[in-house]
Amino acid sequence: MKKTIFIFIYFISVSTFSQVEKIEPPFWWIGMNNTELQLMVYGENIADYDVSISNDIRIINTQKTENPNYQFVTINTESIIPGIVSISFSKKGKVIQTVSYEFKERRKYSALRKGFDSSDVIYLIMPDRFANGNPDNDSTDNTVENANRNDKNGRHGGDIQGIINHLDYISKLGATAIWSTPLLEDNEPKYSYHTYAQSDLYKIDPRFGTNKDYQNLATKMHKRDMKLIMDYVTNHWGSKHWMIQDLPSKDWIHYWENGKKGFQRSNYRMTTQFDGNASKVDSEGCMNGWFDTTMPDMNQSNPLVLNYITQNAIWWIEYADLDGLRVDTYSYNDKETIAKWTKAIMDEYPDFNIVGEIWMHDQAQISYWQKDSKIGAIDNYNSYLPSVMDFTLHDEIPLMFNETSSWDRGMIRAYNNFANDFLYANINNILVFAENHDTNRINQIYSDIKDYKLVMTLIATVRGIPQIYYGSEIGMQGNKSQGDGDIRRDFPGGWQGDMNNAFTKKGRTENQNEYFNFTKKLLNWRKENKSIHFGKTMQFVPENNVYVYFRYNEGEKVMVVINNNPKPQELNLNRFTEIIKDAKFGKEIISDKIINLKSILKLESKSSMIIELNN
């Protein structure tokens, strides 16, 4: 075995001989809902040793694998008090090494933490490309790939401190939550800024900062009433993960005997997860195939794997005081075991939220994966996943604003998408977005700010949780066909020496300020509007490419008008009497104009209006 030296503050050796190299989780908390804790102990031939723990802590069982360098020790934490206990490793009655292990006091009300919801607006950040707050960690001695800002597919040096430095910017914009793409260590020699091929699940990548920096980010966000969402990867690890380099057992990953080094690429056919007519070979090809050559597919059907990633996710929620998880490639996991993973987390934190990436193109197929889905119930399946992503709306947005009106084109695409809302178990708890770090930039598709305003009006006012992508609020573009690096450009002003600092009003161009000012006004208005957060929807079939819908509750009504016609239009408001009723006036929130609801509404070409009705 190739040995690596790890430093742990809690290790106290009783001899000069050190057998234990790692214990994970590195520490734990008392008072958790699940009182069983499984410790993964790693060290050369550690399976040869007997384990005992001080303070009369009961060891429920120990489990060994085919690799003698691992031992999994399950203990009962029910009667443990905060403090340090001793774990001893002995052979033939002789103690070889004793290490200390800490149990911490939980934060007060930690179990009742409130996750993100439809009152939030999520700001998605690719941290390597957002801002470089600490140039000293751009390259480090213990990671392979160095920073090279000239390489659009390489590391550029953005980090956690860069996010912290610009929290006021994000907050003033009107976003209330941040989803950062993964920050855990990714030690692949190339493309490591992407960070979805992780090499250590308990360590922030040193080029992003430290675990304490991540903890500090959450603290500073909470002081601003903002929420932090961690991008969590259950489906695969990186090829350089230290456990992949020395597997506990062959079935820790999905190893393909006929593949090179166990590799076989996924067929990506997620429909096989619920297709009653699917062949076994195709189902396994999706669930067990590798996402990419550098991303071994994890076998969650192995109880040790499932428990490891469950405890790891809970550890980060507790340690960093998180407000939510976004789970990458959720529907590629074994569906039964990922449901157990999700349920275990939600049992620990009943008011938490987890959104899964279900990149499918049919509402019934997406809704299958949401908790308590009527569609899933047909298959006797419940994922326990609170939130899913509205990829069907995402699919339509790049088309609808480019099209003239017809039976199935233009704004009818939006209408038809929302007509299928009945398929979802919880329509408010779905993520709505026009773009993310894997797609074309919306401002690349629509280069005219008029179209951007139409897109943002829709995203910010429909049911669900809006997510926006960093930089779009200043008009940033990016072409997916030019490679992922192009849709993940550096935010101007995030690096010392940048000619354009778009984080400040003075540093932005006139065009950037127009984008920013519209977005800021829209999102800050949304913060206070309960009918948008949790209200009902009434929509009207678009006419002349003009789409009208209302968001309302008992005390509020908001009328949204999107004129996608390249010509001005006149809207007869009598058509909407059933919802407008006796309201005579309304306030348009972008222009601050008072609108007479008893007359013809005149609409400029390619424009939107958001009108608060005055009852």
Task: Give residues with Cβ within 8 angstroms of 135, minimum separation 6.
Answer: 157, 496
Residue 97 φ then ψ, to 5°? -155, 145
| CA dist., res. 498 & res. 125, Å (int) | 19
Examine residue 562 and state whether it is found in any structural domain, yes or no.
yes
Write out the two tokens for 317: 């929620």
122 φ, ψ to 5°?
-95, 130
Whether residue 390 lies inside any domain: the answer is no
Residue 398: Cβ-neighbour burial (10 angstroms; 0-12, 13-18, 19+): middle
Domain membership of residue 42 (yes or no) is: yes
Task: Say whether 307 sits in a helix, a strand or coil.
Answer: helix
Q: Is residue 200 annotated as a catalytic residue, yes or no?
A: no
* Given 120, 357, 390, 473, the catalytic residue: 357
How many CB atoms within 10 Å of residue 276?
Answer: 6
Question: Considering 231, 321, 328, 334, which one is annotated as catalytic?
Answer: 328
Q: How many CA atoms lie within 13 A of 155 on its CB side?
A: 27
CATH number at residue 98: 2.60.40.10
Rounded Cα–Cα distance for residues 39 and 53 (Å)? 12
Of the three residues 48, 77, 106, the one that is the final residue of a domain is 106
Domain interval for residue 597 = 532-614
Q: Is residue 436 part of a domain?
A: no
This prediction has a pTM of: 0.95
Q: Is 131 within 8 Å of 158 (Cβ atoms)? A: yes
Contacts of 551 (CB under 8 A, 6+ apart): 461, 462, 463, 531, 532, 535, 536, 537, 557, 558, 560
Phi, psi at 190, each rounded to 5° = -135, 150
Non-local CB neighbours of 600 within 8 Å, separated by 6+ positions: 570, 571, 572, 573
Q: What is the CATH number of the domain that holds 576?
A: 2.60.40.1180
- Which residue in 210, 34, 122 sits closest to 460, CA to CA? 122
Q: Looking at residue 615, what is its pLDDT?
A: 66
Q: Check if the beta carbon of residue 262 is closer than 8 Å to that of residue 296.
A: yes
As a whole number of Å, the end-to-end CA separation of the chain is 74
Determine how β-strand 36-42 pairs with β-strand 70-76.
antiparallel
CA nearest 350: which of 374, 389, 384?
A: 384
Boundary residue ending a domain (58, 88, 106): 106
328 is catalytic: yes
Number of domains in the chain: 2
Q: What is the DSSP letter of 298?
A: B
Sequential DSSP letters for 26-48: S-EESS-SS-EEEEEEESTTGGG
Token couple for 351: 């008011």
DSSP string, 390-406: -HHHHHHHHHHTTS---
Which structure tokens are listed for 52?
């005992």
Cα 402 to Cα 82, 172, 399, 568, 608: the distances in Å are 61, 31, 6, 16, 15
Per run of 10 residues, the mean pLDDT along the chain (length 615 residues) is: 39 54 98 97 96 95 97 96 96 94 97 98 98 98 97 97 98 98 98 97 98 98 98 97 97 88 90 94 92 94 98 98 98 96 98 98 98 97 98 98 94 98 98 98 98 98 98 98 97 97 98 98 97 98 98 96 97 96 96 95 97 89
Residue 101 dihedral angles phi and psi, to the nearest 5°: -135, 135
pLDDT of residue 429: 98
* Chain centroid, CA 50 distance in Å: 41
The answer to whether residue 435 sits within a structural domain is: no
**In the prediction, which pLDDT does 416 show?**
98
In a domain, 603, yes or no: yes
Contact between 603 and 570 (Cβ < 8 Å): yes
Check residue 131 and report its DSSP letter.
-
Query: Within 13 Å, how many C-alpha atoms sit on residue 405's CB side?
Result: 17
In a domain, 561, yes or no: yes
Please provide residue 428's backbone torsions phi and psi, each rounded to the nearest 5 degrees: -75, -20
DSSP 489: P
C-alpha span between 468 and 122 (Å, rounded): 6
* Residue 138 belongs to a domain: no
Helix (H), strand (E) at residue 579: helix 577-580
CA–CA distance, 556 with 536 (Å, rounded to integer): 11
Chain position carrying tokens 């200043």? 474
The SS3 call for residue 364 is helix
Last residue of a domain, one of 106, 138, 160: 106
Neighbours of 141 (CB within 10 A): 5
Estimate the crossing angle of helix 303-320 against helix 335-348, to 10 degrees. Answer: 30
